[in-house]
């Protein structure tokens, strides 16, 4: 009876697929959770941007060194300057060990933060501070990877005079570009240096 034989084959196939899916689900439930699943926030990721000297820079260029990463914009009236100054002071507290930490300032206002503008801005803070800009898409992608929020705000004067709302945390990443911790706005530089030292 060919019909019942076909039914048997179909039945066995369905059973095998169902058991396979069940097995996979059970394995998923019992395997060791990854760090992301354990609650370490999944922050950071790949990027390709342009630095303040016009050089293409990607996240992999900084492998082997820890990174302090801050997102902001050079026209920021207050917060960004305060935070970049704090980074500079924290690195100074670290002394020679601070040389092992790459310092990254990623603009969330690529429209106005050209590489020339960034070159002037980063020079106000630290000789090793790397200013990074890119296309609107590239900036959006890296901000998303770092869970950074930003939004164009009101224009105070003319159209070119707008403010940007943005997150203000400083991210501290390990030698593989993985998230270690973050420093909330107004963390004292000495405290930042103490925390960083523990990881170096």
Residues that bind Ni ion (CB under 5 A): 72, 76, 79-80
Nearer to Ni ion, 150 or 172 (CB): 150
Nearer to Ni ion, 102 or 108 (CB): 108
> What is the C-alpha separation between 151 and 162, in angstroms, rounded?
11
Least Å from the CB of residue 72 to Ni ion: 4
> What is the C-alpha separation between 117 and 135, in angstroms, rounded?
15
- β-strand pairing of 129-133 with 48-51: antiparallel
Give the 3-state secondary structure of residue 35.
helix
> What is the C-alpha separation between 48 and 58, in angstroms, rounded?
4
Least Å from the CB of residue 73 to Ni ion: 6
Least Å from the CB of residue 128 to Ni ion: 21
Nearer to Ni ion, 80 or 118 (CB): 80
Least Å from the CB of residue 196 to Ni ion: 22
Nearer to Ni ion, 94 or 169 (CB): 169
- β-strand pairing of 170-173 with 66-72: antiparallel
Least Å from the CB of residue 154 to Ni ion: 14
- How close are the terminal C-alpha atoms of the chain, in Å? 74
Nearer to Ni ion, 20 or 153 (CB): 153
Indicate the residue whose CB is closest to Ni ion.
76
Contacts of 195 (CB under 8 A, 6+ apart): 172, 181, 183
């Amino acid at each position: 009876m060919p019909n019942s034989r076909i039914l048997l084959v179909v039945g066995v196939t369905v059973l095998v697929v169902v058991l396979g899916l069940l097995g996979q689900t059970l394995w998923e439930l019992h395997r060791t959770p990854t760090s992301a699943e354990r609650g370490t926030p999944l922050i950071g990721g790949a990027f390709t941007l342009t630095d303040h000297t016009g050089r293409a820079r990607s996240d992999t260029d900084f492998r082997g060194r820890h990174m302090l990463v801050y997102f902001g914009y050079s026209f920021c009236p207050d917060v960004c300057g305060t935070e970049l100054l704090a980074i500079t002071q924290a690195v100074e507290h670290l002394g020679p060990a601070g040389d092992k930490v790459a310092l990254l300032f990623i603009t969330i206002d690529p429209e106005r933060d050209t590489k020339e503008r960034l070159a002037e801005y980063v020079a106000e803070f630290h000789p090793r501070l790397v200013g990074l800009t890119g296309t609107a898409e590239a900036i959006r992608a890296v901000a998303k990877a770092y869970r950074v929020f930003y939004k164009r705000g009101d224009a105070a004067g003319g159209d070119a005079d707008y403010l940007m709302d943005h997150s203000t945390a400083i991210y501290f990443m390990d030698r593989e570009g993985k998230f270690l911790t973050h420093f909330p706005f107004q963390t004292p530089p000495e405290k930042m240096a103490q925390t960083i030292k523990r990881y170096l």
